[in-house]
Every structure is written in C-alpha cells, then in structure tokens.
Amino acid sequence: MSDNWFIDSELETVKSEYEKIQGATLDACVPDMVRISIYRTEYKQVAVCFIFPEDYPDMPIITEIKSKTMSFKFTTGLAQLCDEEVKKMLGEEQIMHVLLFVAAFLDENPLCVCSDEISWLKQNCLKQTDRIKLNQQMSQVIVKFKEGSYKMTFQLTVPDNYPFDNLGIECIENLFPADFHNMIKMQAIEIARKCVTPPIKPKPKQPKWKLTPSVKPVIEFLDEIFHYITKQTCALCKKAVLPDNPENVITEPKHELHADKLYCDHYYHYGCLDAYMKTPPFEGGKKCLSCNERIFHDKWKLPPTLIEKRWAHKQARQRELDEVVEFMQ
Ligand SMILES: [Zn+2]
Ligand SMILES: [Zn+2]
C-alpha cells in the first residue's frame, strides 16, 4: 500500500470498473503506473498509460498513449486531447474518466485508422481546387476534384476492420464521358483490392507482397487521373480532347470529337484517330504519336492487312470516281 489513500482508492475503482470498457485489459495497476489496453480491431488498438503526478488529484494525471499499429502522430494527438479533458476532473478520480474518453473517441472517430494517410494527402497530393471531407459518423472519406468546369467526387467507405478489409468505392459525381468514368472507378477498385489481397501468382522479381492501407494510393490515383484527363490534348489535332464545358461532352462513340483513350493512356478524338488508323503506312501496325507504342483499340480491331486492303480498295474506288468525273467533263 502506498501512503496516498486517494491513489489506493482510485486503483480499486479502476480494478472494479475497467471492464465496463469494451475490449479493455488491465496490464498494470500499481501506484507507480496504471496501464490499460483497449482493443477494437487488429489495427485499432491502444495502450493507455497513467502516471500520478505529485499533488494528485489536484494536478492532472499524466497520460501517455501507445500503439503498435496506429501512428505516433495520432497517439500523441489523442494524449493531448486527454490532457485537456482531464482538467475538468481536478480534485477527483481521473483515470476512468480518461479511459472512457479514449474508448468513446475510438468509436466516434472510425476514420482515425487513416488519419495519417489523410494528412499526407492534404499536404502532398491534393491541388488547391480539390477538397477532402471526413464523415466520421458514416466512416466515409469524400474527396472532390475540380479543374475548370470539370468535377469528380468519390466517396470511400472505410470498413471497421481497415486496413485488412476492402475499401468501399463509389463515384458520386463525374462529368467525364461514361466510359472514362467507368474506367476510373474500375481502376480505383483494383488498386484498393491489391492493397488487401495478395497476388495469386507473385511475380519473381517483385518485392514480397505486404498488406498496405488503401486510402492513400486510391486517392493519389484519382487525383492524378482526374487532372491528367482534363489536360489531355489530341496528339493529332493538338486540341483538347474534352470540350471546355462538360455539358458538351460527346457520348456518341463514332462522333468526330468523341474522346478515345488508348491502352498507353494517350487520348485522341475519334475522328482524328479513325482517319489516322485508315491511312498508310500500315507496316508494323499504327503507333501512338505521343509514345510510339503500337495502338490497340476495340474500335479498330481489324488486322493491319485487312485495313490496308480496305484502304487500297477505297483508293481504287476514288480513282474510278475521279476517272468518271474526268470523263464527264
Ligand atoms: Zn483531334
Ligand atoms: Zn501513347
């Protein structure tokens, strides 16, 4: 027994009440230190350590929060909140109050599991026109991208067992043509999936797969692709592939100004690309003017020899027509 009856009595309170907190275990409960671990998920777990200062309980208890999984920035930030909170309790038993506060904080702020990723994104990735919003109640991160008149908004739902379980990805606003929009969403889903699922056949030279949090890579990708697409110019006519006003986006796939994406991630107008694909030389296949990669596209699936034949046929027809015209003159 210590010579401080107040502390002894508070230690008894902690021993009899800590179990009120879901997932709590008592690691130490002596006058030198009290330590209680709070477990929510494999990733979301903290140990709260208390040291009684001199003149306790008239002085605030010293709280330290440790976690093997959550970031130092998060645990120090939460400990600071505890320091503020405990000032309300001077002169009284403080430990259970702080523990309940920490447990409630973990439950009311499910996005605390990705707080580091969010602050990294705010500092290093998002442009001035982009916005990120957290909906703690729904455990959702909402990210809005803007460039000129174009906008794109994605809603990421962070699961309880993040980062082990898959992120929910929904596009709630997108002014791009539908095929771009679908492509962006599918790629984002794939990036998130690869963060939580090991490859079926690992490639020999690649570093060993390890589970990674997915909020950062998904938002980095969305940011990059959104700003990239809005700035694309057609490699043939050098004009923007998308109209200035998203209301004028062309949805008819064979319209002259329909924006088409190649596998190499370069963009063309349908009309420009169609003319290019049907004009010689055909040898070795048609190549992208931006990167010199061979062009593969669903709209021009014909083998080059057939395209060449058709072109020759078209030319012959034109010659015939020209001859007819000459004959008529
Ligand atoms: Zn063009
Ligand atoms: Zn290319």
- Ligand 2: centre distance to CA 159 (Å): 37
Query: Of 79, 108, 137, at which residue does a domain stop?
Result: 108
Query: Of 78, 108, 138, at which residue does a domain stop?
Result: 108
Among all bound ligands, the one having the nearest atom to the CA of 268 is 1
Quick one: 102 and 215 in the same domain? no
- Ligand 2: centre distance to CA 266 (Å): 5
DSSP structure class, residue 233: B
DSSP structure class, residue 87: G
pTM of this structure: 0.81
Quick one: 88 and 73 in the same domain? yes
User: What pLDDT score was predicted for residue 253?
Assistant: 87
Quick one: 81 and 134 in the same domain? no
Residues paired with 39 in a beta bridge = 45
Average pLDDT of adjacent 10-residue blocks, the chain of 329 residues: 81 96 96 96 94 94 94 93 95 96 95 92 90 95 95 96 95 88 93 92 84 96 94 93 92 91 89 91 85 82 66 74 63
Query: Of 108, 138, 159, at which residue does a domain stop?
Result: 108
Quick one: 114 and 225 in the same domain? yes
Quick one: 247 and 221 in the same domain? no
Quick one: 240 and 277 in the same domain? yes
Quick one: 126 and 80 in the same domain? no
- Ligand 2: centre distance to CA 131 (Å): 30
Among all bound ligands, the one having the nearest atom to the CA of 233 is 1
Quick one: 223 and 253 in the same domain? no
User: What pLDDT score was predicted for residue 118?
Assistant: 93
Long-range contacts of 145-148 (CB under 8 A, 24+ apart): 145/222, 145/223, 145/226, 145/227, 147/226, 147/227, 147/230, 147/231, 148/230, 148/244
Secondary structure of 238-304 as H, E, C letters: CCECCCCCHHHCCCCCCCCCCEEECCCCCEEEHHHHHHHHCCCCCCCCCECCCCCCECCCHHHCCCH
The answer to whether 278 and 270 are in contact (CB under 8 A) is no
Domain count, the chain: 3
Cα distances from 127 to residues 134, 174, 216, 226, in angstroms, run 17, 17, 15, 11
> Residue 12: which domain range?
5-108
Quick one: 104 and 197 in the same domain? no
- Ligand 1: centre distance to CA 70 (Å): 49
Quick one: 211 and 247 in the same domain? no
CATH classification at residue 91: 3.10.110.10
